[in-house]
Structure 1
Amino acid sequence: MAGAQMLAFLPAAALGAFWIGGEWMLVAVALGLPLMMALGGGLDAGSPADMRTARPEADLVDIARAEDLCGAALQDASVSCLATAILAIDVTSGGALPGRLDDRAVAELARACLLRLRARLRTGDRAVRIGDRRYLVILKPDLRLDTGSVLDLANRLQTALEEPLRTHDDALIAPQAAIGCCTGARLPSDRRGEGFLDAALSALSEAGRAGPSEIRAWCDSLDASRSLRRVLRTDVVAALSNQQIRPWFQPQICTSTGQISGVEALARWVHPERGIIPPGQFLEALQSGGHMARLTDTILSGALAALVRWDRDRLDIPCVSVNLSGDDLGDPSFAARLQWELDRHGLSGNRLAVEVLETVFTAAEGCPITANVARLKTLGCRIDLDDFGTGNASIMALHRLPIDRVKIDRGFIAGIDRSEAQRRMVAGMLSLSEQLGIETLAEGVESAGEHALLAQLGCDHVQGYRIARPMPAERFTDWVQNHRATIAAPMLSRRLP
């Protein structure tokens, strides 16, 4: 029996002792029983103070234990005809993994997260760690635990977890919490503890893909999408070997002449059963499996081979651009591999543009990435800064690094013809680039209004569905011929009497 429950019977026990043995028995029971409980730790068991403490290492449980806890919650809810729910939480420190903190700061973050969780839970709820940065909250059975109330709790817990935290070295970190939740009522009747936990972790994975501070509730469709991702992870490496993954091409045009100024090579997986699979569904699998270098080699080789064919067909495509990852640029051998590919196809470096995300340029001068970019520049390659405006690159970085063109992210372009604030922001980017002698390209142009306004503002090049969707190489030749006939038609009509 818990200490609090035993103390509830103390007056009755003392009264009974008085009637049986007199005053001396009354004193013995009234003083002896609490003393024995205190020595045995009974008075502290289950107390609110204990629920508010947190010892990160002691509160770490393995997956088997977590499954047992989830199974016990389901069993208790079933016996009492009540509802239960669990929440799986992934906490990152200001967008960075806790692995980038020192050991003491990691322990401080873990303890703070547990304290913040427990301070907002009810007596009987439980919060434990299930990994370096993951937590599991198990809610005691209750009459009203539907998806809506659990999502409300998830929002409150997220708000608490994301309060800034100052570490021992006076560093201020801003935790971000992704949360996946599942109610027992949503599970099939044959689900046990492992299925309960797996459902919450599936919802957590979906939240993590949406962003570092998102919340998702489990539903049947998540199991289907998770199954699809497992299939894709199994098939994607073979797809590289079987040439199912290959480059598709999206043209870029000059705003002043309408002529084709380049083309971007984009990875597409043409699955024999599932059709075209966009990169968002398979890049993560390649990244986690360490196959990004193979993907880059595949797209680079296919893009250069297509450029050779277009030269043979006299399409006069100035250059093709290929996206590079941070892993590519961090590889000291990458520039040599690229030179070999250029030589193999008989092309000079100025026929290739390499697109690099803005975030890779936040590193200090002299780092391997910066050195590799410089090597690519010496080969004659153009350097495009991709998704400009979304990262942390400074004006000094634009001035210091050998950038030929910035690609303005489509988030700034969508609806620019209807937003004065966006127009002013993009105009500022264009003016800055002009002052630095850097060309500009707007991504994601989808309407005639956006295209016309960007031309008026002085953007050099545009790319997007307004121009053309990505297409396989075999369709690109026909598109080029049709495009050139279209831009030539108005000039021909003006010559007619």
Structure 2
Amino acid sequence: MLLASFMRIRRVAALLFSGPQVIAFTPAVSLGAFWIGGEGALLAASLGYPMIYMLFAPEGWVPHETVSRRDAVTGLPLREFMLERLDDYFEISANRARNGACMLIELTNAAHVETTFGSEVLSELRRAVADRLRAALRDNDMVYCLTDDRFGLVLGTTTNLDLEAGIQLSNRLLRTVQDPIKVGSNTIYPSSCLGFCLANVSPEPTGEALMDAAQSALLSAMKSGESTIRAYAPDTIRAAAKVDNNAREVIEALEDGRITAWFQPQVSTDTGLVSGFEALARWIHPEKGPIGPSSFIPALEAAGRMEQLGDIILRHSLLALRKWDAAGFDVPSISVNFSEVELSNPRLVDKVRWELDRNELPPERLTVEIVESVVTADPNNLVTRNIAGLAALGCTVDLDDFGTGNASIAAIRQFDINRIKIDRSYVSRIDRDPEQQRLISAIITMAEQLGLQTVAEGVETQGEHALISQLGCDHAQGFALARPMALDNTFGWMEQHYAHLLPIPQIGGRAF
């Protein structure tokens, strides 16, 4: 009990015996001692003051604690230090008209950096971010290392720290963290989210409660996507508590590599040759087997993990191209769906360029699939500029699910679309429904006039395959040709497909 009381007094005194105030206070003590007691008192003060400083000095100045209670990579103090500092804040500042804050910053692509570049590059990234945060803060603010991808900040008290000021500071910190970092020959683009809680709205006047509140705000920010900032509000804790077990299981599957890319072939209706594959996300569940994206995409969207999923699918897709090349198969391109979250990343074009260069693949072998809702967006927004940037890089662009949205011909031409993918709702029962035939015929005619190729999605029967071929659709994709499959199975499928390649089936008579 006495030891605990002493340690609490020591921590409080540490705030008084550290920082700029010590420099101003030391001469005052010396002069006061000499004025009151002469040379003897001056000598006693000179010897006694350093002893008092060593007794009550901040923990970070004690050598053996520095080694054992600091992060080995960044040199930052750990979580227990942060909690002590937050507790001290409430003891000292509870009755003052001043405010402080607890901030948490998550490096959301830390796992991707480690997987792609290795642990040494991740360590360099963490060191660089720690240095940037130290440089961006005031002398009485502190930075802490909580995990390999999370930093904590305790802002010293001030009279003008309100919600607006907190958000402004958070924006500045995120910009500081997310500037590109050069590590050897690699350029790393950190992505991050930030959650914070002002001390005056902490659920309880304890360091633990204040940190928990900031963490609930951080979780809310991560669910909303990259570069998001959230301030604590009481409902954020209630919202975080509603995350169900399925969502947790999905996130664990993503982190463990159990959500991966499967591939479905696209075949030329003229030659029967494979014209490409589309990469489709699959969750390989240990008990339920392969699970389609409709069962897990909503959970990843809510958790702010769509960009992480996109990175995985892109890497697996480019690796598949290299393996097909090495095996001697001619696969012209791979189609990858890009979500609106990914298309909102200001560094997307640089990231795609880097991945292509790393795999020694030309940009024209990557097909970027976008949906109609993206095409109808404001032409000046970031999503639009990224699509134009990918097209300028040399990637081909497919408009997915054509006919289900409101894309205008002008918008299609603006985005340098290469192909339109006719939605399966138009393809279904085309061999039995004359109205469906006329609709698809009109779409194909429009595409030909615009110089666009067409892909029929969801071709499930040989009759549908034959009819879309006769109508002039350029490519077919669907269960009639092959279901999505793991990469290892694509080699056998292509061998079998080419071994039994037959002329394209035709239906007698003219289709209308």
Percent identical pairs in the alignment equals 16
Partner in structure 1 of residue 398 of structure 2: 441
Partner in structure 2 of residue 198 of structure 1: 212
Q: Are the structure 2 counterparts of residues 428 and 186 from structure 1 closer, same or farther at C-alpha, using a change threshold of 3 Å?
A: closer
Partner in structure 2 of residue 13 of structure 1: 33
Partner in structure 2 of residue 384 of structure 1: 335
Q: Are the structure 2 counterparts of residues 98 and 411 from structure 1 closer, same or farther at C-alpha, using a change threshold of 3 Å?
A: farther
Q: TM-score w.r.t. structure 1 length?
A: 0.54
1:342-390 Cα offsets, whole Å, 9 max, x none, are xxxxxxxxxxxxxx9787566899x677437988979x99953434996
Shift of 1:130: 0.8
Any conservation in 2 of the 1:408–1:441 contact (CA below 8 Å)? yes
Any conservation in 1 of the 2:370–2:398 contact (CA below 8 Å)? no
Partner in structure 1 of residue 42 of structure 2: 30
In the alignment, residue 229 of structure 1 is paired with which amino acid? V
In the alignment, residue 280 of structure 2 is paired with which amino acid? L
Distance 2:128 2:212 in 1: 26
Shift of 1:192: 4.3
Partner in structure 2 of residue 59 of structure 1: 76
Match of 2:175 among 159, 178, 183: 159
SS at match of 2:143: strand
Is 1:117–2:133 an aligned residue pair? yes
1:67-102 Cα offsets, whole Å, 9 max, x none, are 454444345443436433210012468995357667
Distance 1:284 1:376 in 2: 36
In the alignment, residue 219 of structure 1 is paired with which amino acid? A
Shift of 1:201: 1.9
Partner in structure 1 of residue 196 of structure 2: 181
Q: 1:84-163 to 2 correspondence within 5 Å?
A: 84-91=100-107, 96-97=112-113, 109-163=125-179
Distance 1:206 1:448 in 2: 33
Distance 2:259 2:364 in 1: 24
Match of 2:376 among 393, 415, 419: 415
SS at match of 2:165: helix
SS at match of 1:80: coil
Distance 1:482 1:430 in 2: 40
Distance 2:378 2:166 in 1: 42
Shift of 1:151: 1.4
Partner in structure 2 of residue 371 of structure 1: 323
Distance 1:443 1:322 in 2: 11
SS at match of 2:147: coil
Any conservation in 1 of the 2:259–2:283 contact (CA below 8 Å)? yes
Partner in structure 2 of residue 494 of structure 1: none
Shift of 1:227: 2.4
Partner in structure 2 of residue 245 of structure 1: none
Q: Are the structure 2 counterparts of residues 194 and 396 from structure 1 closer, same or farther at C-alpha, using a change threshold of 3 Å?
A: closer
Q: Are the structure 2 counterparts of residues 138 and 98 from structure 1 closer, same or farther at C-alpha, using a change threshold of 3 Å?
A: farther
Distance 2:170 2:325 in 1: 44
Q: 1:261-340 to 2 correspondence within 5 Å?
A: 284=251, 286-288=253-255, 291-292=258-259, 323-325=279-281
1:302-321 Cα offsets, whole Å, 9 max, x none, are x99xxxxxxxxxxxxxxxx9
Q: Are the structure 2 counterparts of residues 360 and 138 from structure 1 closer, same or farther at C-alpha, using a change threshold of 3 Å?
A: same
SS at match of 1:443: strand
Distance 1:460 1:226 in 2: 42
Q: Are the structure 2 counterparts of residues 486 and 183 from structure 1 closer, same or farther at C-alpha, using a change threshold of 3 Å?
A: farther
In the alignment, residue 324 of structure 1 is paired with which amino acid? L
Distance 1:456 1:161 in 2: 32
Distance 2:170 2:386 in 1: 38
Match of 1:462 among 400, 421, 435: 421
In the alignment, residue 386 of structure 1 is paired with which amino acid? N
Give the number of aligned pairs: 371
In the alignment, residue 195 of structure 2 is paired with which amino acid? G
Any conservation in 1 of the 2:317–2:336 contact (CA below 8 Å)? no
In structure 1, runs of 5+ residues without a counterpart are 18-25, 238-282, 305-320, 329-333, 339-355, 491-497
In structure 2, runs of 5+ residues without a counterpart are 1-12, 266-276, 292-308, 443-512
